[in-house]
A and B are shown apart, each in its own frame.
Chain A
């Protein structure tokens, strides 16, 4: 008989047969709000836009004669509708022809048509500096979606490059590139392919089976952080990049390319442009509504951009909701839904007992309003303990600023004991 009897429950069991579900508190108003201004290292200059370091040109590069003879980024162009041949996946990043140059030669420069973009709030990945590009083949166009990721055509290539500056306080200096992940929209659906940069920083080679790299940097507080950075395997990409279809099959999807995270300015050709409008002006995005109707996720770390609740919910949305949503496998299992449009306080975690969070996870409930220290949600995103930390993959060190944001938000909720 011993089981879980949660403390108090014994006598209460039949008496009142339930302590009502913890009352309730004010509803959330998720949803996009004001603005912020970009905080993410922005994407460069010139039409091509240099992600975060380096100057264009240089185009040297050695391995396999990448830059010239571009195996054409347009390999998949043509082809109307979602048909056409599958793109042959190159063994090196240069094989896509998406960039010229290299980190060793002054910088990795997106070619024309490979559009750099930033997200207003990004997934935390061990403080790596990330740069992103979106390539939509000639003759193809993406369709606007108000909530989900943009509907991107076959042949689309999305890249995300992970790099660590020696000192986060000088993010453009002594940058070491670790990996570039490429999402490929094949006729059969999305595929994810990880490329790992070599020690010389001249080429990134396909590494489907995961790699680990020792990383050291000086953080924003001036402290040295050293850890083993894990490049996910190809199959692990699906752990985050999926939604379940009606039959329960996991279908791969991009995560960040959502209107609310894209609707802010970036610099293209020396001119400040709204990223969505810029894509539309290139003929790469249709269905774009008037600016006033565009959703906008704030920079979660800009207090002037939105209220605390919206910023915290935005952080949870981009960091957690790719799994913790009603179509994510982990969301379905846990019934914890952290997507920005979830208005149900229980499935958001308030006074919710997790299905299987395990032992020593800070408390009994996902969120104890008013008390972050006893909230499992906060504990798991704050801890660095293996087996207890969240997200499941992609993080080794803890995100001090993100933890603080979520702590502040939980503490701002009207207190409840949940018991």
Chain B
């Protein structure tokens, strides 16, 4: 990737940039000094044992499930009817969908089905099976694919909208859904296999938000699927317990794959390429589920440099503030293992570990999830960093109002380059958690970075940004002082060169 373009910028321009940052910092409101997040709320961060002090043991219970009936509903021994539909029978299909007996399979012939409303399923044991998901770019079905077209559907409607136990969808494409392509809520035993979700237009903020979107569910498998052009996340697993996300492809989305407020996720063998950000794990404030135990294994997270097309004015979403070129970020998350993955050519950086306070600094707003803003116990080992990353933050197209952290990092590394740091290191930690920790603590939240393969000539692999200190200096116009707050570390021989947390994750071990 091209070198930093802003090395040519004058220091005056840089100061103008960071000055603008400070201007936006809570100008009018008087600040009411708020109690620091009380100790109780943050203790869990950084314990070696990797435990949550407040939530009891949060470990995978070792359920050997992989898309079977792990929940309390099964179709075994029950009447299992199959309804078959061909293109042209959409109205009959919709009528039947609304009066389904449990354990019905809806078999869709090859071709194009056109709908004017969501396919809304509220029944247990339903399977939707088509003839194939087709290939990227196909908005019509072929002899070997079934494409469900929602281009002219009612405003706000999803493609598939499902609440039900033991649901499966396979071998279809969902095209141009008005909102989410496949939304599955409050369901148990969910399988999405060989499903393609796609919007025709690239880079359109008005595309549907999510491609494959299981939320508030349990025992979810997303496998061999493809997700393109979502205005939020191509594949999103939210507020879910036990999820397998395996061998999928996510491209041209704002976020490729998102694991949010989720417990026990096994994310493996996926390709996240050409998104704004590739594969991310985070908790959001105000959500009652505290995510934990996420294993990210053998994924390829490359070339995620698509300009953030959701980053428009007056946005409230998290992803709208993500700088282009972000391979992976882990935010407000704990017990996350990244291993066997490949990162390459992500212009802003490969991996960031962040505090939830960096997006929502008011700890009281994290009360619903047990004050789950702190990240802790992140084990990054045995990965391959191929390089080409971290050398053009946010593609050099900065916005201090819409993507402020990117702008700050860009400014810091513009100066950093003069100090020999030619790119943002492969692992960037914001240095926030536990909030207010003394700077004498080098690795208080127990981030381990070990046995990773790095490009030849790598100087420093890790940075502690000290977002608070550096941010304060930068907003005061002192870029050199801000840079001075950051700390850079080599890949080995530091406090980050550690062996991970215990008990180690088991999610995935029982899945074959």
Chain A residues engaging chain B, CB cutoff 8 angstroms: 1-23, 207-212, 228, 230, 232-236, 238-239, 248, 250, 329, 333, 335, 352-365, 374, 376, 379, 384-387, 389, 392-393, 396, 416-417, 419
Given contacts A8-B25, A364-B314, contact A1 B326 (CB under 8 A): yes
12 intermolecular pairs with C-beta atoms under 8 Å apart: A1-B326, A2-B405, A4-B321, A10-B21, A20-B32, A233-B98, A234-B99, A236-B118, A353-B365, A356-B209, A384-B155, A419-B28
* Interface residues of B, count at CB 8 A: 109
Query: Would A3 and B156 count as touching, CB distance under 8 A?
Result: no
Q: Tell which of A232, A248, A387, A393 touches B206, judged by Cβ atoms closer than 8 Å.
A: A387
A1 to chain B: which residues have CB within 8 Å? 323, 326, 329, 348-349, 352, 354, 405-406, 409, 428, 430, 465
Q: Tell which of B95, B118, B314 touches A363, judged by Cβ atoms closer than 8 Å.
A: B314
Q: Tell which of B22, B186, B348 touches A2, judged by Cβ atoms closer than 8 Å.
A: B348
Q: Does B109 contact A (CB under 8 A)?
A: no
Given contacts A355-B284, A359-B205, A387-B156, contact A21 B317 (CB under 8 A): no
Q: Tell which of B312, B361, B408 touches A359, judged by Cβ atoms closer than 8 Å.
A: B312
Q: Does B146 contact A (CB under 8 A)?
A: no
Query: Would A8 and B363 count as touching, CB distance under 8 A?
Result: no
Instruction: Please give me the residue from chain A that is nearest to B157 by CB atom.
Output: A393
A11 to chain B: which residues have CB within 8 Å? 21-22, 25, 468, 471-472, 474-475
Could you tell me the distance in whole angstroms from the C-beta of A357 to the nearest C-beta in chain B?
5
Query: Would B120 and A10 count as touching, CB distance under 8 A?
Result: no
Given contacts A10-B404, A14-B432, A333-B216, contact A3 B313 (CB under 8 A): no
Inter-chain CB contacts under 8 Å: number: 290
Given contacts A4-B321, A11-B475, 6 further A-B contacts (CB under 8 A): A2-B394, A5-B404, A13-B471, A236-B120, A393-B157, A396-B155
A210 to chain B: which residues have CB within 8 Å? 94, 98, 116-118, 120
Given contacts A11-B472, A233-B94, contact A358 B232 (CB under 8 A): yes
Stretch at the interface among B33-41, B167-175, B294-302, B335-343: B33-41
Instruction: Please give me the residue from chain A that is nearest to B394 by CB atom.
Output: A2
Q: Which of B24, B25, B27, B31 has the most CB of A within 10 A?
A: B25
Q: Tell which of A3, A379, A389 touches B155, judged by Cβ atoms closer than 8 Å.
A: A389
- Bound-state CA distance A6–B358 (Å) is 8
Q: Does B121 contact A (CB under 8 A)?
A: yes
Q: Does B442 contact A (CB under 8 A)?
A: no
Could you tell me the distance in whole angstroms from the C-beta of A380 to the nearest C-beta in chain B?
10
Could you tell me the distance in whole angstroms from the C-beta of B93 to the nearest C-beta in chain A?
7
- Bound-state CA distance A392–B179 (Å) is 10
- Bound-state CA distance A335–B317 (Å) is 16
- Bound-state CA distance A293–B106 (Å) is 53
Q: Does B82 contact A (CB under 8 A)?
A: no
A359 to chain B: which residues have CB within 8 Å? 205, 231-232, 310-312, 315-317, 320
Instruction: Please give me the residue from chain A that is nearest to B185 by CB atom.
Output: A329
Interface SS, A side? loop
Given contacts A235-B120, A387-B209, contact A353 B178 (CB under 8 A): no
Q: Does B286 contact A (CB under 8 A)?
A: yes
Given contacts A235-B121, A417-B28, contact A17 B361 (CB under 8 A): yes
Q: Which of B420-436 contact A (CB under 8 A)?
A: 428, 430, 432, 435-436
Q: Which of A210, A238, A354 has the most CB of B within 10 A?
A: A210
Q: Tell which of A13, A21, A361, A362 touches B358, judged by Cβ atoms closer than 8 Å.
A: A13
Q: Which of A11, A12, A417 has the most CB of B within 10 A?
A: A11
Instruction: Please give me the residue from chain B that is nearest to A391 by CB atom.
Output: B156
- Bound-state CA distance A296–B58 (Å) is 48
Given contacts A11-B468, A15-B472, A235-B122, contact A2 B178 (CB under 8 A): no
Query: Would B117 and A230 count as touching, CB distance under 8 A?
Result: yes
Q: Does B9 contact A (CB under 8 A)?
A: no
B22 to chain A: which residues have CB within 8 Å? 11
Given contacts A212-B116, A387-B206, contact A14 B435 (CB under 8 A): yes
- Bound-state CA distance A49–B39 (Å) is 66
Instruction: Please give me the residue from chain A that is nearest to B97 by CB atom.
Output: A209
Q: Tell which of A20, A239, A387, A393 touches B34, judged by Cβ atoms closer than 8 Å.
A: A20
Could you tell me the distance in whole angstroms from the C-beta of B361 to the nearest C-beta in chain A?
5
Given contacts A6-B404, A19-B34, contact A357 B316 (CB under 8 A): yes
- Bound-state CA distance A154–B310 (Å) is 49
Could you tell me the distance in whole angstroms from the C-beta of B277 to the nearest C-beta in chain A?
7
Q: Which of B452-469 contact A (CB under 8 A)?
A: 465, 467-469
B186 to chain A: which residues have CB within 8 Å? 248, 250, 329
Q: Does B140 contact A (CB under 8 A)?
A: no
- Bound-state CA distance A366–B402 (Å) is 18
B406 to chain A: which residues have CB within 8 Å? 1-2
- Bound-state CA distance A174–B460 (Å) is 77
Query: Would B436 and A16 count as touching, CB distance under 8 A?
Result: no
Q: Does B5 contact A (CB under 8 A)?
A: no
